Amino acid sequence: MKKTLLLTLSILISVSIYGMGDKVKNPGHSKDSYNNVQVPSPKQTLIGTTSPDFMFTSLDGTNHTLSDYKGKKIILDFWATWCPPCVAEIPHFIALQNDYPDVQVIGISVDQGSATQVVQDFMVDKNINYPVAMGNETIIAKFGKIKSIPTTFLIDENFIIKQKAVGYKNKEFFEQHLNLQK
């Protein structure tokens, strides 16, 4: 009797914890919050497909859509101020933005809570010269729910996703994968 009761309790606790998985990873967000967003399935890759378009307001107050930059090679970087590999990539992005007029870097901060001022101060401190916006569920879901940062998408001038890079990459990686030449 005790074994049956313990087994039943163990199963109930396991099912409860498993069912809360998304809420534990994303406090305050439920699976239902993605209802109106087209989310790639886990087996679907975005590589070789037309990039999802989205509207964003950069932290300087300017409204953009990703497609505003069609015709340029786009580096779309999902990052956070507290992420050492993300911070280490920023000088590369600043240099790429300066060195290549046909490249547009866009940063999507995944800092949470009331971090807007933190990100703005960080941008000033690091002399970031490209648009940065605060990420939201819609943007993140369109790119397959970002699971690790930095995650960077390389989008060609025809708006096709050419590469998804997870983790720190140096400047040469971006130059090579975007076929950049001075």
pLDDT-based confidence at 16, cuts 50/70/90? very low
> Which tokens in the block code for residue 63?
């409204």
pLDDT at 127 over 80: yes
pLDDT at position 13, please? 35
Alpha-carbon distance of 94 to 116, in angstroms, equals 20
* Alpha-carbon distances of 24 from 17, 20, 29, 59, 143, rounded to whole Å: 9, 6, 9, 28, 21
- Which residues are CB-neighbours of 40 under 8 A, at least 6 positions away? 46, 143, 144
The percentage of the chain sitting over the pLDDT mark of 70, rounded to a whole number, equals 75
- The number of C-alpha atoms within 13 Å of 19 and in the hemisphere containing its C-beta is 6
Angle between helices 116-126 and 84-99 (to 10 degrees): 50
> Which tokens in the block code for residue 143?
């790119």
pTM of the model as a whole: 0.76
Per residue in 42-57, pLDDT (tens digit) is 445 789 999 999 999 9
Helix, strand, coil distribution of the chain in percent, nearest 5: 40, 20, 40
